[in-house]
């Protein structure tokens, strides 16, 4: 059965309570990869995959997911500033649909507007050289995307646990 591809807000019910998530920043030439801890509190960088063909890219991503026993994926969805989807967002959705055919793990899409720009500013502030920034920017963007998604999932869980229908009675 193919995986579900959902907006991040709809991903939680399809995930076990614990388990790492893998985050992807899909670029034209590279894929930044980050992974969370099993409690989904902290995202850390894994690697930058040099893109080849979808089958090779997906095989590498799925291997990383298996090595880390992840329970789901978070893909950065590069929306335009006005919230519309351009060619890069369409490409991300196509990658997600194709990846879903190869795994049963759920795939969440997370708005990644300005993630690369934010990471670039942080690296410049840290005085990273242009060559160093180029080498790590996609991986750092994946961390930024995944951490934002983790924070959003945690806020949603906290709100749900405070709701009257989520309170244990008896």
What are the domain boundaries of the chain? 5-166
Three-state DSSP class for 72?
strand
* pLDDT above 70 for 79: yes
Judge contact between 43 and 139, C-beta under 8 A: no
Three-state DSSP class for 12?
helix
Strand order in the sheet with 21-26: 5-7, 107-111, 72-77, 21-26, 30-36, 43-50
Radius of gyration of the chain (CA): 16
Residue 21: name the closest of 116, 154, 128, 131 by CA. Answer: 154
Mean pLDDT, residues 72-91: 90
In tens, the pLDDT along 22-61 reads: 999 998 899 999 999 999 999 999 999 999 999 999 999 9
Cα separation, 104 vs 66, in Å, equals: 12
* Alpha-carbon distance values, 169 to 17, 22, 42, 137 (Å): 21, 35, 32, 48
Residue 140: name the closest of 117, 113, 110 by CA. Answer: 117
Confidence of residue 86 (pLDDT cuts 50, 70, 90): confident
Three-state DSSP class for 47?
strand
Cβ partners under 8 Å of residue 153, min gap 6: 8, 11, 12, 40
pLDDT above 70 covers what percent of the chain? 83
The pTM assigned to this predicted structure is 0.85
Judge contact between 19 and 163, C-beta under 8 A: no
Ordered alpha helix ranges (H), 3-129:
54-67, 87-100, 115-125
Higher local confidence (pLDDT), 72 or 112: 72
Provide the CATH topology of domain 5-166.
Nucleotidyltransferase; domain 5 (3.30.420)
pLDDT, position 83 = 82
pLDDT, position 110 = 92
């Amino acid at each position: 059965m193919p995986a579900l591809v959902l907006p991040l807000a709809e991903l939680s019910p399809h995930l076990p309570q614990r388990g790492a998530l893998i985050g992807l920043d899909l670029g034209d030439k590279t894929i930044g990869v980050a992974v969370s801890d099993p409690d989904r509190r902290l995202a850390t960088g894994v690697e930058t995959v040099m893109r080849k063909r979808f089958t090779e890219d997906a095989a590498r991503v799925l291997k990383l997911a298996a090595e880390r026993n992840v329970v789901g994926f978070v893909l950065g969805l590069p929306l335009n500033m006005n919230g519309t989807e351009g060619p890069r967002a369409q490409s991300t959705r196509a990658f997600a649909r194709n990846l879903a055919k190869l795994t049963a793990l759920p795939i969440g899409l997370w708005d990644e507007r300005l993630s690369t720009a934010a990471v670039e500013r942080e690296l410049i502030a840290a005085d990273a050289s242009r060559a160093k920034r180029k080498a790590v920017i996609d991986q750092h963007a994946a961390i930024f995307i995944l951490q934002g998604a983790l924070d959003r999932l945690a806020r949603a869980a906290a709100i749900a646990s405070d709701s009257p229908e989520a309170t244990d009675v008896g």
